[in-house]
Structure 1
Amino acid sequence: MSVLENVHTPGAVQLGNIPTSASNLEAHHLKALLDILDSNAADSSIQERVLVTLGNSAAFSSNHDIIRNFNGIKIIGRFISHPKTKAKALNALNNLSMNLENQEQIKDFLHDVCNDITSSPLNSEVQLAGLRLAINMSVTNSYHEFLADYIPCFYTLLADGDKATQIHTLKVLVNLSANPSMTTVLLSSKAPSSLANLFGSKTNSDILVRALTFAANLSENYDRQMHSNRHHHYEDHSLYVLLFRDQTAFKGNLVALLQHPDTDIKEHVARLICPQKLN
């Protein structure tokens, strides 16, 4: 099941007659805030405060269309290129991405977002903000191709990141793996050998259940491809080789996980060990 990420960021601004609470902002207030950003006259501290307020207001669905109709997505999107405002802009876009019409405009920033995920310090605020936006933008299949080139980076984050980074990354990967047309690129992408360690019984349950969901989705989609006589050659460094070519270690971990106390984990293990036969 795909999950959208909604972010509430502490703090709001008081500029002129603009209310301090995001829940009290009306259309003309939102327009005034966007005009401040669009003018480029404010210093970075004011810009950050405005972006926080717009981001908080975007947590209310009633403001999604208003901000878009004031060209707000494109105005806010420009600020992901500035180091001091990047995280605040990403959080605002993330809340706006809860709206499918908004996603159609936000997609134009996806490559920049993914570059920020790749280049930002590991486990940083900017990296997590970018991952949250990638989660929302990958809930449907519409923009998966924008993320395809960054899959090796996601695998590296999954191997090296802390718990929060791993969970956020897995949410993106689970969304991608639910799309059969992404199976080949996910399986053929370069993956660190340490990823196999995620499937051990000592892995945190929140991480493990998502890792198993990801692997089970790929396994089932790969089986369908083989059933359709669609073959692909996978290189030695690929995720396919790590998980499915030499299955001794992987399956050994799965068998051990059948004793796991978490029912969801055991259900996903069963999907991998005993896949349903195709008709």
Structure 2
Amino acid sequence: MANAREIQSRMNSIKSTMKITNAMYTISSSKLKKARKALTDTEPYFYALHRTIGRIIRHTPDIEDPYLDTRPEIRKEDRKIGYIVVTADKGMAGAYNHNIFKLAQEQIDRGGKPFLFVVGDLGRQYFAKKGIPMEQNFRYTVQNPNMSRARIIEEEIVEYFLSGKLDEVHLIYTRMVNAMKMEAEIIQLLPIPRQRMTQAIPIDVHLEEIAMKPSPQAVINSIVPNYIAGFIYGGLVESYSSEQNSRMMAMQAATKSAQDMLDELAITYNRVRQAAITQEITEVISGAKAQKKKRKKA
């Protein structure tokens, strides 16, 4: 059994670690509130774009547009599929990164010719070790997501799609369901899925006619880039919020474990200290008895 000094040293080390985990919990809590507020402030605008695109498709179901082109002539195994994978820049966030890696790997294994656009340092390190092709110049942090970064990503992705370098584009991110539950999700960005855009509008509900000038194609071409940028921004903020929430939960669990260890060590320390005191008393009594016997013999 360790002596009292070793146990006390270990307790002090655990207390220092608890200060770090508590600080990380507080920081993540602050970042989470800020990110959720930013998303709440911008959501109405992008939902409006979603509804507008849905109405255009509903009023002109036969519309042909590059953003809606599913390229059915390309076989499944030959389709070039791009995945925007949103990971974290650092760990200590529970299973957050693992769930994203698992979902991305499942999609890659489904076939086609996958090509990754990875946001976050941990993701780039992971897929580099796996030898999975990535866009090497696509290096963006996930810290403090903003609309400017989302637009830069959108412009690059759209250029790949319209030029034929990619036939599909999907976003893999983490959605924050509630304070206790986060889910890794995948959603198709390009080509724009007609069914998803119109399913929110029941087919038997009449909507007033809308004028689209100079043409429905021109209106869609003007709206879609903003819509995709908004979707990417939403994915970045949701993922960032989920990361911070996962880190809060992980730090809270770590702090609780540290406290449990302290409680156990405190009991052990008291036992060791009591044993040492008992031993000292025994030695004093034994010494006193020996001195008494010695005086009697003298």
Q: Do both proteins adopt the same fold according to a TM-score greater than 0.5, normalized to the shorter chain?
A: no
Larger radius of gyration: 2
Choose between structure 1 and 2: higher strand proportion.
Answer: 2
Q: TM-score, normalised by structure 1?
A: 0.20
Choose between structure 1 and 2: higher helix proportion.
Answer: 1
